[in-house]
């Protein structure tokens, strides 16, 4: 079984499997890693900026925050659209990412 932090936990036969809900922050981190946001220090700094600098569910803020952190356009676009679809939101009017 994969744990929310990406680790692996062995499950014994007959043992119940408890699935823990990850936080949106954890989901954002995984998407950022899959989108190619590296090195880990930049990933952590960017996630902290998105979470502390505004509302991570405000897509205009997320786009601005990624730009402020200097994230390469192709990576920022992949991450933004993955996050947007995760939240189930449409692209805000007037925003081009």
Predicted confidence at residue 9, as pLDDT, reads: 57
| Residue 44 clears pLDDT 50, i.e. is over it | yes
29 pLDDT exceeds 60? yes
- How many C-beta atoms surround the C-beta of residue 90 within 10 A? 9
Could you give the CA distance from residue 69 to residue 54 in angstroms, rounded to a whole number? 14
State yes or no: pLDDT of 58 exceeds 50: yes
More confident residue, 58 or 14: 58
The average pLDDT across 62-78 equals 97
Would you put residue 18 in left (φ > 0), alpha (ψ -120 to 50) or beta?
Answer: beta
Kindly tell me if the per-residue pLDDT of 67 is higher than 70.
yes
- pTM for the predicted model, two decimal places: 0.76
- What is the number of helices (H) and of strands (E) in the chain? 4, 0
Q: Residue 34 and residue 14: Cα distance in Å, rounded?
A: 33
Give residue 22's pLDDT. Answer: 62
């Amino acid at each position: 079984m994969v744990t929310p932090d990406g680790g692996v936990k062995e499950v014994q036969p007959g043992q119940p499997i408890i699935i823990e809900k990850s936080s949106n922050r954890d989901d954002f981190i995984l998407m950022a890693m899959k989108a190619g946001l590296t090195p880990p220090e930049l990933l952590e700094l960017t996630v902290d900026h998105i979470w502390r600098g505004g509302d991570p569910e405000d897509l205009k803020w997320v786009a601005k925050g990624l730009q402020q952190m200097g994230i390469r356009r192709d990576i920022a676009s992949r991450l933004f659209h993955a996050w947007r679809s995760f939240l189930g939101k449409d692209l805000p009017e007037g925003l081009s990412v």
